[in-house]
Chains A and B, each alone.
Chain A
Amino acid sequence: MSHSLASPAKPLASASRTSSVGDVVFAAIAKAAGVFVLLLLGAIIVSLFIGGWPTFRAFGMGFLFNADWDPVQNVFGGAVPIYGTLVTAVLAIVMAVPLAFGIAFYLTELAPSWFRRPVGTAIELLAAVPSIIYGMWGFFMIVPFMAEWVQPPLIDALSDIPVVGALFKGPPFGTGIFTASLILAVMILPFIAATMRDVFQTVPAVYKESAYGLGCTTWEVMRSIVIPYTRVSVVGGIMLGLGRALGETMAVTFVIGNTNRLSTSLFGPGNTIASIVALEFPESQAGSLKLSSLLALGFILFVISFIVLAISRTLLRPGAK
C-alpha cells in the first residue's frame, strides 16, 4: 500500500515560528486522541474479560470446546456459537470473493464506460443497506425459496452419499448455516467489490499499456500486472468483509435457525456469537453465570477478530511471500 501513496510534503522551513504554543497544544491534543483510542480498546477488552471471568474460572479452557448450552442446569459451552461464527464467515468469504472479483474486473477492464457509473453506484448503495433489511429480505424471500426449491432436491440427491451426505442432511427448514452464509456473502459483497474496483483503478495506466504493448491479453494483464500491484489492498478488502461477517448480528439471527446444537449439515441450524448474545442478553440476570458466559463469548469474538487482523497484517508485511 505504502508505495502507492505519495510521501507527504515536508513542512517548509520558512513557516512562521510565532504559533509554537499552538503547535504544542495541537500536538498534545492529537496525541491524546491517539492514546484515547488505545485506552478505549484496552478498556473494552479488560471489561469483557472481567465480565467473563466467572465463566472462565468455572469451565476453564473447556468453555471453548464444550457444545453444551443449558441455562436450566447452568452449564455453558461456547463451541456451537464459535463454530457457527467461523463457518458462516468463511463460507461467506468463499462465496463473495469470486463474485466480487468478477464485478471489479468487469467494471475496470471490460464494461463500456457509460455502464461503469450506474453499476458502481449500485454497489455503493448495496453497502449502505442496513443489516436488518438484509435479515428481513433473507427471512421472507430467501428462506422460503431455499426450503421450497434448493434444499429438498439437494437433500434428496446427496444425503445418501457417505461423508458428503453428512453436509446436506436434515429437514428443509430453509434456515441454517448455509442460508446465513449466503446472506452474509451478499452483505459483504459490496465492501469487497468496491475496494477491489477502487484499487484496480489505482494501477498506473502506463504499466498496463506497456503490458498490452508486449502483446498481453486482458486476462494476462489482470493476472500479471493488476493483481500483483494491488495484492495488499485486495486482501485488505477481503479482511474488511471477513470482519463484518464475523460480527454481523441481526441478519444472521433471522436466518441461522438459532440452535445451540452442533450440526455437521450445512442446512442444519446453528448459532453465532453475535446472535446468541443479542438473543439471550435481555433474559440474563445481573451476576448470573449466563450473563458472564455471554460476556466471555464477546471476549472470544474480540480475540477472533484480533487474530484475523493479525494474520492479515503478517501476510501483508512487505517482503512476505
Chain B
Amino acid sequence: MKTLSLALVAMLAAAGPVAAQQITGAGATFPAPVYAKWGEAAKAAVGIELNYQAIGSGGGQNQIFNRTVDFGASDAPVDGAKLAEQKLLQFPAVMGAVVPIVNIPGVELNKLKLTGEILAEIYAGKITKWNDAKITAINAGLALPALAIAPVYRADGSGTTFVFTSYLSAANAEWKAGVGAAASVKWPAGNGAKGNDGIAATVKQVKGAIGYVENAYATQNKLISTQLKNKAGHFVEPTLAAFSSAAASGDWTKAQNYAVDLIDTAGATSWPIVSATFILLPKDPKDAARSAAVMKFFDWAYTNGGKIASDLEYIALPKPVQDAVRASWKSEIKG
C-alpha cells in the first residue's frame, strides 16, 4: 500500500502542477502552417499545447466522426444534415487564397491576365496554346509564344483542389456540369503532381505549364502568379489587400453553419479564389475540459493570432464573425 501511494506521489510530481493542457486535432493541410505557429505561440501565452496532424480534410472528418481527436479540421464545409447527425459544431478558423502559377518564357510575376472562363477551358483541354485568341485578346501588351499549355493539378485529394474547382464551377457552367467541385475530380486534361511542392516543381520544369497553389506557397517560393478578373470585371493581383477585400464582401449572415461562400465575391478589388477553412467540434464532448481548451485556443487565436496569420499570408476572420462564433460556443457546446 505504501509503495502504491509513493508511486502515485511520484506520478503526480512528474506531471507537475504547471503542465500545459494538451489538445489534439487532425485534418486539413491547407491551414496547417498557421495552426502550427498558433500552437507555438499559444503554448507560451495560455498554456495550451496543440498537437495537430495534417492528414487531409477527409481524414480529419473521419477522425472527428469517430471522436479520436478533440477537433477535426476541414477545408470543405460539412453539410448541415451530416453535422446534425454527428452532433458537431462547425466554425471557420482562418481564410486563405489560391493562386494560378505559370511558366511561360518572357512572362513575369503578375503580368499575365486570366479569367475564370479561360482557366476552366485550359483545364478542360479546350484552350491548348498560350497564343490562343481568347488569351491574347486580354493581354494586349504581352508577347505570348505559340507554346502548348500543360495544365498541372493536385494528384492527391486536397482542399486546395476543392477551392480551385469550386471557382472553375462558378466561372464556367460547362465545368460545373461536366466535372464539378471536390477534393479530387475527374480532370479532363493535364498531369497530376503530389502536393503544393510537386505542382510548383512540375510547373518550374515544364515550359508552358500552369498550376494552382496556396498563396503562401507561391510567395515563399517566388512563383510566377497571374492576375485574375473578378466578378466586378476588374483584373486584380493576388495581394493580401485583395484577399481581405474578398473576405469582407462575403455574406456571413446568410451562411448556414458558417459555410460561407467566398468564391468570386462581388467586391471591386476582391481576389476571386478565397476560401475559409473550418473546425469541427463535438457538441457533446466526452471530456469537457479538453473541449473548453479547444475553444480557449481558438478564442486566443482570434484575438491574438491575426498578425501570425497575415505574416503567413492567411486572412484573419472579420471581428463580427469572431463574435458570432464565440456566441455559438456558449450556446451550442455542452460544458
A174 in contact with B59 given A72-B185, A269-B192 (CB within 8 Å): no
Interface 9-mer from B150-158, B237-245, B271-279, B320-328? B150-158
Picked from B59, B148, B191, the residue with its CB within 8 Å of the CB of A283 is B59
Instruction: Find out whether the CB atom of A253 lies under 8 angstroms from the CB atom of B155.
Output: yes
Interface 9-mer from B13-21, B175-183, B286-294? B175-183
Instruction: Find out whether the CB atom of B186 lies under 8 angstroms from the CB atom of A70.
Output: yes
Instruction: Find out whether the CB atom of B157 lies under 8 angstroms from the CB atom of A280.
Output: yes
Instruction: Find out whether the CB atom of A285 lies under 8 angstroms from the CB atom of B185.
Output: no
Q: Output the least CB separation between A90 and chain B (Å).
A: 22
In Å, the complex CA distance between A272 and B334 comes to 47
Q: Output the least CB separation between A158 and chain B (Å).
A: 18
Which A131-167 residues have a C-beta within 8 angstroms of B? 139-140, 143-144, 147
Which B53-92 residues have a C-beta within 8 angstroms of A? 55-59, 61-62, 65-66
In Å, the complex CA distance between A259 and B154 comes to 10
Q: Output the least CB separation between B140 and chain A (Å).
A: 27
Instruction: Find out whether the CB atom of A71 lies under 8 angstroms from the CB atom of B65.
Output: no
In Å, the complex CA distance between A254 and B192 comes to 9
Q: Output the least CB separation between B63 and chain A (Å).
A: 10
Residues of A within 8 A of B201 (CB): 139-140
B252 at interface by CB-CB < 8 Å: no
Picked from A173, A253, A257, A282, the residue with its CB within 8 Å of the CB of B56 is A282
Q: Output the least CB separation between B280 and chain A (Å).
A: 13
Instruction: Find out whether the CB atom of A258 lies under 8 angstroms from the CB atom of B193.
Output: yes
Interface string of A252-289 (1 = CB under 8 A from B): 01100111110000000100000000011011111000
A73 at interface by CB-CB < 8 Å: yes
B205 at interface by CB-CB < 8 Å: yes
Q: Output the least CB separation between A70 and chain B (Å).
A: 4
In Å, the complex CA distance between A259 and B123 comes to 13
Instruction: Find out whether the CB atom of A175 lies under 8 angstroms from the CB atom of B191.
Output: yes
In Å, the complex CA distance between A297 and B252 comes to 42
Residues of A within 8 A of B193 (CB): 258
Which A85-132 residues have a C-beta within 8 angstroms of B? none
In Å, the complex CA distance between A70 and B206 comes to 27
Minimal Cβ-Cβ distance residue in B for A259? B192
Minimal Cβ-Cβ distance residue in B for A75? B186
Picked from B156, B179, B186, B205, the residue with its CB within 8 Å of the CB of A282 is B156
Picked from B55, B58, B186, B192, the residue with its CB within 8 Å of the CB of A285 is B58
Instruction: Find out whether the CB atom of B191 lies under 8 angstroms from the CB atom of A257.
Output: yes
Minimal Cβ-Cβ distance residue in B for A268? B191
In Å, the complex CA distance between A106 and B187 comes to 48
Instruction: Find out whether the CB atom of B191 lies under 8 angstroms from the CB atom of A285.
Output: no
If over half of B's interface residues share one DSSP class (helix, strand or loop), that class is named, otherwise mixed; here it is loop
Interface string of A225-264 (1 = CB under 8 A from B): 0000000000000000000000000000110011111000
Which B24-68 residues have a C-beta within 8 angstroms of A? 55-59, 61-62, 65-66
B184 at interface by CB-CB < 8 Å: yes
Picked from B155, B180, B182, B205, the residue with its CB within 8 Å of the CB of A258 is B155
Interface string of A53-74 (1 = CB under 8 A from B): 0000000000000001111110
In Å, the complex CA distance between A285 and B66 comes to 11
A286 in contact with B156 given A173-B191, A279-B194 (CB within 8 Å): no
A283 in contact with B205 given A175-B191, A258-B191, A259-B192 (CB within 8 Å): no
In Å, the complex CA distance between A280 and B192 comes to 12
B306 at interface by CB-CB < 8 Å: no
Minimal Cβ-Cβ distance residue in A for B209? A173
B285 at interface by CB-CB < 8 Å: no
Residues of B within 8 A of A173 (CB): 150, 191, 202, 206
Instruction: Find out whether the CB atom of B192 lies under 8 angstroms from the CB atom of A283.
Output: no
Instruction: Find out whether the CB atom of B191 lies under 8 angstroms from the CB atom of A259.
Output: yes
A171 at interface by CB-CB < 8 Å: yes
Q: Output the least CB separation between B175 and chain A (Å).
A: 11
In Å, the complex CA distance between A258 and B62 comes to 25
Picked from A147, A253, A261, A284, the residue with its CB within 8 Å of the CB of B206 is A147
Q: Output the least CB separation between A146 and chain B (Å).
A: 10
Residues of A within 8 A of B57 (CB): 283
Instruction: Find out whether the CB atom of A279 lies under 8 angstroms from the CB atom of B156.
Output: yes
A70 in contact with B185 given A144-B205, A174-B205, A259-B192 (CB within 8 Å): yes
9 smallest CB-CB distances across A and B, nearest first, come from: A283-B157, A258-B192, A282-B56, A258-B155, A72-B180, A283-B58, A70-B186, A279-B156, A283-B183
Interface of B toward A, CB cutoff 8 Å? 55-59, 61-62, 65-66, 148, 150, 155-158, 179-187, 190-194, 198, 201-202, 205-206, 208
A-B contact pairs, 19 of them (CB 8 A): A68-B186, A72-B179, A72-B181, A72-B186, A73-B180, A173-B202, A173-B206, A174-B206, A175-B191, A175-B202, A253-B194, A254-B194, A279-B194, A282-B56, A282-B156, A283-B157, A285-B61, A285-B62, A286-B62
